[in-house]
């Protein structure tokens, strides 16, 4: 008799953005004429830049010609893309990694989710609260969470590190044992960053206790301040404790085109549950070659074009565009009387809900102003009382949203 | 202290095709002038058809235009593609399924691998032997296999169903309890098919004992005989016991473009390990929305074009082309004195290695004729003594290979 994985039943409610989509659809059904402005999900609205479009056309033509057609690609990505990533994202910033430490995949969400297959089931998982829900949900589905405790508004075996006003949205180091810690900076949803000194504390902690840090730097392109690290590998000691996950989604408008990569250093070595000494690089390589078949050649050619000088210059303009939206939201919401965080080195603005109830604020903003944001409570118990707005709408809609709200 | 998943260390050697790639690279390094003919991995060589190329160009242009740009797509695929799949692959064959039972993904290998997340860890897995290695390896990595026993040439907790000359390469029903059974028809690697009556026996067995069948029909487009089922859902009772996985890789030349789909019927309901009654459709939907972010819009537009009347007609020509290669291989190898199976309803020809050692035969064919095939032992203990050749090479190379071998 087939028995299904019971850990899925420990998940609380639906995946956040699916829930928001449902509520939005219900509102639209009741208010068919409402002109909704979407500032909820972090989804790009600017088109692919010309350098990427041109490259993808060339790749499509190659795929249609028997002389240049490509079948299965290399398991870990084409070298032309891995080398482009290496050069621009690492070597140009003075960070030394090897090209074979880069694994190209079809999305940071997938990598963030799949990386947990490398952890033993008993690993204690630590997450910042509030947090991108995928870190938590994928560990619940893999049996690492224990049961949800409604009183604690959290899972028994998950260690939550609150990032709240009182600590300037910078979590303290874990005070109890944590084996694997997810960090996302620039942060989704709070829009905060870590300085090199703050990040170094986490790296030193991980090396001291043998923990592994999963570092999600999907939003690094949005950093404006020169002293904020773009990569955890800018920090001494990170190669023995960290895996970095990056995305083309927000840097190149690839939310619907799908490309990302992870860096798993060769120096990252631990024991496994059978007491073998194992390289996490080799485990990830094995996972990728066994359970994945690479990213579309056409997509990889487009991604590589985003790293060319021409493409990069065009994309800098796109990122600047969104960051101007972030400024408009930040200043608009402040003028409307709200307390506002983030939006200076990240495309997310984190707004204090006046009465402390974030789903109520979500409904008020939806019904009163026809604007969709994301309720902070959807990101964890410590997100209650906040509301996330994203800078990815059009300029027109961003300005219109602020006018509607009174900013 | 982080502890890694020890189940990975129970894997035997490298993933088959990585191992073949390594041996091939070593041969090439030693024989730089050898003109290798690749008939090992089942990788297409015909280009994308014009209807697909044209559609992808249009999609690339849409992505480059702010008016038509698309960000995140629907979690389970665009309706235009799901409906195209529904109509051509199911309704036109008289098979009734619902469009929301179709989940679009970036590869059948990924789906075959990821589907095992829905099984409880204790499920007993049955596989046909020989078999596509991903069914086995992914269950080893998830802790369902027990240890490898070199004497048995198999894992302690895996139930192997031999498909060998003695049973006409059609496995008998399991004689011991099996909770989830992987079937692939037309079969990789043996090139065999199941009749409706043979498949019905498996469906009835699964319904009687509560097992689930993972039915991989990636090669259904290669079926020539009219009485062979293309889908397990042609069989009465399959909706309460089966999940079907399909691929665009071999039907539309998408090995490097990446698109596939799975059908998980709503009627497929079981208990989970916490004794809840659960729908596997809902579990898979939850997995897809939490751990995956959809397939590239451009790819989905191309896939839908492959289902258009124009695209389908073009692709029928491609499949016919490969099947003519299969005929050339089958007849050529027979003329050269080998015993040959398959290749009549599948792009794989399964050749008996004269001395019974398949890696030795691999080396002989590589070194003697500069042809790469796949040793049967790589597909399991019962594959020992056989050698797989694929029909995906060019006509010129297929003919040249037969001349070299003496067929």
Tell me the pLDDT tens digit for each residue of B189-214.
999 999 999 999 999 999 999 999 99
Quick one: closest CA in A to B50, which residue?
A: A64
Closest CA to B40 of B372, B347, B363: B372
Q: Which residues in chain B touch residue A248, judged by CB atoms under 8 angstroms apart?
A: none
| pLDDT recorded at residue A268 | 98
Q: Which residues in chain A touch residue B55, judged by CB atoms under 8 angstroms apart?
A: none
| pLDDT recorded at residue A16 | 75
| pLDDT recorded at residue B261 | 98
A–B interface: beta-carbon pairs under 8 A: 298
Residues B47/B317, Cβ–Cβ less than 8 Å: no
Instruction: Give long-range contacts, CB 8 A cutoff, 24+ apart: B193-198.
Output: B193/B223, B193/B225, B193/B228, B193/B345, B193/B346, B194/B170, B194/B228, B194/B229, B195/B227, B195/B228, B195/B229, B196/B227, B196/B228, B196/B229, B196/B234, B196/B235, B198/B170
CA separation, residue B75 to residues A18, A156, A256 (Å): 9, 30, 11
Give the distance from residue B337's alpha carbon to the nearest chain A alpha carbon, in angstroms: 32
| pLDDT recorded at residue A407 | 78
Residues B72/A17, Cβ–Cβ less than 8 Å: no
Give the distance from residue B10's alpha carbon to the nearest chain A alpha carbon, in angstroms: 9
CA separation, residue B151 to residues B124, B129, B147, B148 (Å): 20, 16, 12, 9
CB-CB: which of B9, B274, B298 is closest to A6?
A: B274
Which pLDDT band, with edges at 50, 70 and 90, does B16 fall under? confident
Measured distance CA(A397)–CA(A406) in Å, rounded: 14
Over residues B278-302, the mean pLDDT reads 97
pLDDT tens, position by position, B132-191? 999 999 999 999 999 999 998 899 999 999 999 999 999 999 999 999 999 999 999 999
Six-digit token pair at A94? 């003075």
Closest CA to A321 of A372, A374, A370, A253: A253
Quick one: closest CA in A to B12, which residue?
A: A286
| pLDDT recorded at residue A41 | 81
Closest CA to A88 of A280, A286, A248: A248
Measured distance CA(A327)–CA(A321) in Å, rounded: 10
Residues A49/A319, Cβ–Cβ less than 8 Å: no
A179/B272 CB distance under 8 A: no
Which pLDDT band, with edges at 50, 70 and 90, does B19 fall under? confident
Q: Which residues in chain A touch residue B77, judged by CB atoms under 8 angstroms apart?
A: none
Mutation target for A interface from B9, B15, B256: give the one with most A CBs within 10 A: B256
pLDDT tens, position by position, B334-362? 999 999 999 999 999 999 999 999 999 99
Residues A157/A146, Cβ–Cβ less than 8 Å: yes
Give the distance from residue A194's alpha carbon to the nearest chain B alpha carbon, in angstroms: 23
| pLDDT recorded at residue B345 | 98
Q: Which distant-in-sequence residues (6+ apart) come within 8 Å of B147 by Cβ?
A: B10, B155, B156
Helix (H, G, I), strand (E, B) or coil at B359: helix
B283/A61 CB distance under 8 A: no
Q: Which distant-in-sequence residues (6+ apart) come within 8 Å of B131 by Cβ?
A: B182, B184, B189, B379, B380
Residues B383/B163, Cβ–Cβ less than 8 Å: no
- The mean pLDDT value of chain A amounts to 96
| pLDDT recorded at residue A152 | 86
The C-alpha angle A147, A376, A114, rounded to 5 degrees, equals 55
Does residue B96 have a pLDDT over 70? yes
Query: DSSP character for A145?
Result: S
**pTM (predicted TM-score):** 0.96
Q: Which residues in chain B touch residue A107, judged by CB atoms under 8 angstroms apart?
A: 292-293
Q: Which residues in chain A touch residue B60, judged by CB atoms under 8 angstroms apart?
A: 48, 53, 56-57, 60
A278/B71 CB distance under 8 A: no
Residues B97/B263, Cβ–Cβ less than 8 Å: yes
> How many angstroms from the chain centroid is the CA of residue B172?
21
Measured distance CA(A126)–CA(A135) in Å, rounded: 9
CA separation, residue A338 to residues A318, A378, A386, A404, B322 (Å): 27, 20, 11, 14, 65
pLDDT tens, position by position, A28-76? 999 999 999 999 888 999 999 999 999 999 999 999 999 999 999 999 9
pLDDT tens, position by position, A265-305? 999 999 999 999 999 999 999 999 999 999 999 999 999 99
A212/B43 CB distance under 8 A: no
Over residues B246-256, the mean pLDDT reads 96
Residues B357/B374, Cβ–Cβ less than 8 Å: no
Does residue A15 have a pLDDT over 70? no
Does residue A21 have a pLDDT over 90? no
A9/B50 CB distance under 8 A: no
B270/A106 CB distance under 8 A: no
Please count the residues of chain B. 407
B256/A71 CB distance under 8 A: yes
Instruction: Give long-range contacts, CB 8 A cutoff, 24+ apart: B275-283.
Output: B275/A6, B276/A6, B276/A9, B278/A4, B278/A8, B278/A9, B280/A4, B280/B118, B280/B212, B280/B243, B281/B101, B283/A4, B283/A5, B283/A8, B283/B118
Closest CA to A108 of A242, A260, A280, A2: A260
| pLDDT recorded at residue B152 | 86
- Phi, psi (5° rounding) for residue A64? -95, 5
CB-CB: which of B41, B66, B134 is closest to A290?
A: B134
pLDDT tens, position by position, A121-161? 999 999 999 999 999 999 999 999 999 999 988 999 999 99
The C-alpha angle A216, A221, A226, rounded to 5 degrees, equals 105
| pLDDT recorded at residue A50 | 98
Measured distance CA(A313)–CA(A106) in Å, rounded: 24
Measured distance CA(B112)–CA(A290) in Å, rounded: 10
Q: Say what the ipTM of the complex is.
A: 0.96
Which pLDDT band, with edges at 50, 70 and 90, does B14 fall under? low
Residues B370/B381, Cβ–Cβ less than 8 Å: no
Over residues B258-270, the mean pLDDT reads 98
Mutation target for B interface from A24, A44, A60, A116: give the one with most B CBs within 10 A: A60
Q: Quote the strand ranges of A300-397, DSSP E.
A: 340-342, 348-352, 371-372, 374-375, 386-390
Mutation target for B interface from A293, A299, A311: give the one with most B CBs within 10 A: A293
B43/A1 CB distance under 8 A: no
- Proportion of chain B above pLDDT 90, given as a percent: 94
CB-CB: which of B180, B290, B293 is closest to A2?
A: B180
Which pLDDT band, with edges at 50, 70 and 90, does B15 fall under? low
A2/B287 CB distance under 8 A: no
B290/A137 CB distance under 8 A: yes
Six-digit token pair at A87? 């050069």
pLDDT tens, position by position, A162-214? 999 999 999 999 999 999 999 999 999 999 999 999 999 999 999 999 999 99
Q: Which residues in chain A touch residue B274, judged by CB atoms under 8 angstroms apart?
A: 6, 9-10
| pLDDT recorded at residue A102 | 98
A306, exposed or middle or buried, with CB in 10 Å at 0-12, 13-18, 19+?
A: buried
Quick one: closest CA in A to B295, which residue?
A: A258
């Amino acid at each position: 008799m087939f028995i299904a994985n019971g850990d899925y039943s420990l998940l609380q409610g639906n995946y956040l953005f699916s829930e928001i989509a449902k509520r939005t659809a219900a509102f639209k059904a009741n208010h068919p004429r409402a002109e909704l402005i979407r500032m909820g999900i972090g989804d790009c609205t600017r088109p692919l830049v010309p350098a990427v479009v041109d490259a993808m056309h060339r790749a499509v033509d190659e795929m249609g010609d028997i002389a240049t057609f490509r079948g299965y690609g290399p398991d870990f990505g084409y070298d032309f893309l891995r080398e482009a990533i290496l050069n621009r994202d690492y070597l140009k910033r003075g960070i030394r990694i090897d090209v074979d430490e880069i694994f190209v995949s079809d999305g940071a969400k997938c990598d963030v989710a799949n990386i947990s297959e490398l952890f033993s089931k008993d690993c204690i998982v630590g997450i910042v609260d509030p947090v991108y829900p995928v870190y938590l949900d994928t560990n619940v589905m893999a049996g690492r969470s224990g049961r949800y405790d409604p009183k604690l508004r959290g899972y028994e075996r998950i260690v939550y590190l609150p990032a709240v006003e009182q600590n300037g949205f910078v979590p303290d180091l874990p005070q109890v044992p944590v084996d694997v810690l997810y960090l996302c900076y620039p942060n989704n949803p709070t829009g905060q960053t870590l300085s090199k000194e703050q990040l170094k504390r986490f790296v030193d902690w991980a090396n001291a206790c043998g923990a592994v840090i999963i570092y999600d730097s999907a939003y690094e392109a949005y950093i404006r301040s020169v002293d904020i690290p773009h990569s955890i590998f800018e920090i001494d000691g990170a190669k023995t404790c960290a895996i970095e996950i990056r995305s083309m989604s927000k840097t190149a408008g690839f939310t619907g085109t799908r490309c990302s990569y992870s860096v798993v250093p060769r120096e990252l070595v631990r024991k496994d549950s059978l007491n073998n000494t194992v390289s996490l690089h080799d485990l990830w390589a094995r996972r990728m070659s066994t359970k994945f078949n690479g990213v579309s050649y056409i997509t990889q050619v487009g991604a590589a074009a985003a790293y060319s000088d021409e493409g990069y210059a065009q994309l800098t303009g796109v990122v600047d565009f969104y960051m101007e939206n972030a400024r408009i939201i930040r200043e608009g919401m402040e003028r409307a009387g709200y307390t506002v965080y983030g939006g200076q080195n990240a495309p997310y603005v984190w707004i204090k809900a006046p009465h402390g109830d974030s789903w109520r604020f979500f409904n008020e903003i939806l019904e009163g102003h026809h604007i969709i944001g994301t309720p902070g409570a959807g990101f964890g118990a410590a997100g209650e009382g906040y509301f996330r707005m994203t800078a990815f709408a059009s300029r027109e809609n961003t300005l219109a949203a602020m006018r509607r709200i009174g900013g």
